[in-house]
Homo-oligomer: A and B are copies of this chain.
């Protein structure tokens, strides 16, 4: 039997407002594998829901088609495990929509915690250990990930806290958002 302990943790992947390569604000394109890989990680670690966020309608339609193929279409029969993961995914156009959604179901606003590869000295940071504790206390939390070159600083200023950057064995710090999300959820929820 499937053990399906579920946390009060939601995650969201933002395609806007993010930086492009030249640190200008942009809306990035959806990468199909971001939907799949992160949904499978979310399902593994008992994440409550996974939001894909973009203000671009054609991009939302693309994401919707991908998800529908695997949850209702041929893909759901071909690979039911994929369906089980993709059922966690919702597509929204903005942070406000995501917050409203969570509030409608949970009756309160989640704590907003963004992830970033950079360190900001003027913003409140939370460690993995501290955030792990909040999750164990069943606090309602939304963790936000940015695509492209990361969430803009203006957007980060709306957060309640930032999660410490991932640090490896070296100073190289350029993971894909897929890898970063996997590592972060394992640090917060993995049984090591």
Contact = CB atoms under 8 A, between A and B. Distances in A.
Interface in A1-37: 1-7, 21, 33, 36-37
Contacts of A189: 168-169
A46 B169 CA distance: 6
Contacts of A172: 2, 4, 43-44, 81, 84-85
A186 to B, nearest CB: 4
A170 B2 contact: yes
Contacts of A95: none
Contacts of A182: 175, 178-180, 182-183
B169 A44 contact: yes
Nearest to A9: B169
Interface string A57-83: 000000000000000000000010100
Nearest to A167: B191
A133 to B, nearest CB: 14
Interface of A: 1-7, 21, 33, 36-37, 40-41, 43-46, 79, 81, 84-85, 128, 166-176, 178-180, 182-183, 185-187, 189-192
